[in-house]
Homo-oligomer: A and B are copies of this chain.
Amino acid sequence: MPSYRAPVRDYRFLLHEVLDLSQYANLPGFADAPADLIDAILDEAAKLAEGVLAPLNRVGDTEGCKRAGDGSVTTPKGFKDAYKQFSEGGWLSLSHDPQYGGQGLPHVLGLAVAETFSGANMAFGMYPGLTGGASRALLAGGSDEQKDLYLPKMVSGEWTGTMNLTEPHCGTDLGLLRTKAVPQADGSYKITGQKIWISSGEHDLSNNIIHLVLARIEGAPEGVKGISLFVVPKFIPDENGEPGERNSLVCGGLEEKMGIHGNSTCVMNYDGATGWLVGEENKGLRIMFVMMNEARLGVGLQGLAVAEAAYQNSLAFAKERLQMRALTGPKNPDGPADPIIVHPDVRRMLMDQKCFIEAARALVTWTALHGDLEHVSDDEGQREKSGDYMALLTPVIKAYLTDKGFLSVSNGLQVFGGSGYVEEWGMSQFLRDSRITLIYEGTNGIQALDLVGRKLAMNGMRPITSFFNEIDAFAAGEDADARVKPFLEGLAETKKALHEATDWLVENGLKNFDNAGASSHDYLQLFGLTMLSYMWARMAKTAAAKIAEGTDDPYYETKLKTGRYFLDRWLPEAQMHLGKVRAGAESMMALDAEAM
């Protein structure tokens, strides 16, 4: 059975040292989060993740969710009790608006604990995860009455939430959606239609489930311009705001999925269900995107979180499993063989995981901080820049961290050899769970299109220009420690490749849109690599400074050596991606579909 330890030490390094959150102590939210409180929160989250959620991860996989004939869904044994502890611990409210019962702490801290929960039990983490997204969408687009009615109970976790977008014939292409909303005399709507792949759509964890549903009001324009958002509670709140009449919506089936069995993925049938418009008519997508953008960061975080769990277990296995002698002579001469961690190719699989995970964590944390600064900074320029970064980096984080996260988990499984393929060891569950992250909340191909088709061009290319300037300035910096220099040089080189790829896209993507599409995947990969390179440079600088100060904590030397491996083994990928970007659309689109 796999084990899990929350990466608390890494988060302390990132939050206190690399990002130095104390510098923002004058800002709302940050003011309430001194270092010792952050540490206490990280420790408490670790306890819950390690002691309660992780032991349920395999139970969730093997038992799965079960649907009864009446459409009710039972979650795996232990989930209900764990959810009770989770919500009573106030974890849903951590970075939520105090007006609705939230603790108002920075999102960057919320992300840190979310990694911990997803790493311990990804399927479980999706219940509060979806609730957080739904409540933020209501916060962004709901009326005061709706907020007062729903948010306190969603922020506390008493009620959970979902998002309902997909229909059988429409996934990416929401313009095709058919679910109908018919206005009623009392201002409500009757919602009718079928939604599929609704995560946490029905379950037994909470006494109400608040569905946010995209639908088309009778007579609305076709396509994406006629889509509205509705709040459709499972139980319609009564005059006291408590769950009242059962709404006419039902879980029509559970999907049999490759993984995340502990989360209920529902077919939801709405049969004249009562719902209320959220925001304006025909402007539902705008609000749903509030939720989706947050969800996309969350999915990138899941990619990282499961990779961390797989890494920890493969590392432990590699230290214990005895097979063969080291190429350079026995390292465990008294044992029957050496632990497999002595073998370079096993080490390669471990170091690839480690150097990815640590930089990916820095990237999510750094980006989440910008998500805070976008809203609370007292400097208008900073708010603009942080907003730009959030927009630019959301698709990169979603796609790159899940693409590489899945491969990272696959490396972890491979370290186990045959045991990796046997379910009881738990590595195969990590791989199966992880695979969904490349797909949901917009496939990784859609993320790449969002990056090259929308985010690059935004505001006259302001985000990418601002970002390049920041990297150039950082890479051009001096550092007293000679070991930092290769990090700055590596960053400069990788960024140069990304800049050339950007120039190529601007020139060729406008001439022929297919060029932009054809090169979007490798462009996004190169972007992700540049980001990890930047994060490694920042972490190396911080670690070297700590060493120069005379620390005797070996953590910092380890950090530098791990980063060095990244430079040696990951940076050669930059030119490859640039080469693929430049190949463009011609040979990709050369075949008629019928000839394929």
Which A residues contact B (CB, under 8 angstroms)? 166, 169-173, 176, 196-197, 255-259, 315, 318-319, 322-324, 327-328, 336-337, 339, 341-351, 354, 406, 410, 413-414, 417-418, 420-424, 428, 431-432, 435-436, 438-440, 443-445, 448-449, 512-514, 516-518, 520-521, 554, 557-558, 561-562, 564-565, 567-569, 571-573, 575-577, 579-580, 583, 585-591, 593, 595-596
| Min CB gap A398→B, angstroms | 14
A414-B443, A588-B348 as given contacts; A171 in contact with B323, CB under 8 Å: yes
Q: List 20 A-B contacts (CB under 8 A).
A: A172-B323, A173-B322, A176-B336, A255-B422, A258-B428, A258-B432, A341-B596, A344-B589, A345-B517, A346-B445, A349-B445, A351-B587, A351-B591, A417-B439, A428-B432, A428-B435, A561-B591, A569-B588, A572-B579, A576-B576
Query: A257-B422, A348-B588 given. 7 additional CB < 8 A pairs?
Result: A341-B593, A342-B593, A343-B445, A406-B410, A432-B432, A567-B587, A576-B576
Q: How far is the CB of A145 from chain B (nearest CB, A)?
A: 34
Chain B: which residue is nearest A564 at the CB level?
B587
Q: Determine whether the beta carbon of A424 is less than 8 Å from that of B562.
A: no
Residues of B within 8 A of A575 (CB): 572, 575-576
Nearest Cβ in chain B — how far from A293, in angstroms? 19
Q: CB < 8 Å: which of B170, B445, B518, B588 contacts A414?
A: B445
A591 / chain B contacts, CB cutoff of 8 Å: 351, 558, 561-562
Cα A341 to Cα B445 with chains together (Å): 13
Q: Select one of B258, B337, B590 contacting A561, CB under 8 A.
A: B590
Closest to A567 in B: B587
A565-B587, A587-B564 as given contacts; A343 in contact with B580, CB under 8 Å? no
> If the complex has contacts A343-B517, A345-B517, A346-B445, are A587 and B572 also in contact, measured as CB distance less than 8 A?
no
* Nearest Cβ on chain B to A556's Cβ, whole angstroms: 11
Grouping DSSP codes into helix (H, G, I), strand (E, B) and loop, the A interface class, with mixed when no group exceeds half, is: helix
A349 to chain B, nearest CB (A): 8
* CB-based nearest B residue for A222: B336
Cα(A332)–Cα(B144), bound, Å: 45
Inter-chain contacts of A596 with B (CB < 8 A): 315, 341, 350, 354, 558
B518 and A173: CB pair below 8 A? no
Expressed in whole angstroms, the minimum distance between the Cβ of A76 and any Cβ of chain B is 17
* Measured CA separation A421–B580 after assembly (Å): 28
In this complex, what residue of B is CB-closest to A336?
B176
Q: Considering only CB atoms, which chain B residue lies closest to A515 in the complex?
A: B344
Contact residues in B for A328 (Cβ distance below 8 Å): 512-514
8 Å CB contact of A569 from B421, B439, B580: B580
Q: When the two chains form their complex, are residues A418 and B197 in contact, meaning their CB atoms are under 8 A apart?
A: yes
A344 and B585 contact, CB distance less than 8 A: yes
Looking at A256, A348, A520, the one whose CB has the most chain B CB atoms below 10 A away is A348
- Residues in B with CB closer than 8 Å to A424 are 256
The CB with the most chain B CB atoms within 10 A, among A327, A448, A557, A564, is that of: A327
**A345-B521, A418-B171, A517-B327 as given contacts; A431 in contact with B337, CB under 8 Å:** no
Give the most central of A197, A436, A568: most B CB within 10 Å. Answer: A568
Which chain B residues lie closer than 8 Å to A521 at the CB level?
345, 348
Pair A568/B593 contact, Cβ less than 8 Å = no
Specify which chain B residues have a CB less than 8 angstroms from the CB of A255 in the assembled complex. 422
CB-CB under 8 A from A516, the residues of chain B are 327
Q: Assuming A354-B596, A423-B257, A439-B414, is B569 touching A327 (CB within 8 A)?
A: no
Smallest Cβ-Cβ distance to A571: which chain B residue? B579
- Residue in A342, A562, A596 whose Cβ sees the most chain B Cβ within 10 Å: A596
| Residues in chain B near residue A569, CB distance under 8 A | 580, 583, 587-588
User: Given A513-B327, A565-B587: A256 and B171 within 8 A (CB)?
Assistant: no
Q: Given A428-B258, A595-B558, A438–B418 Cβ distance below 8 Å?
A: no
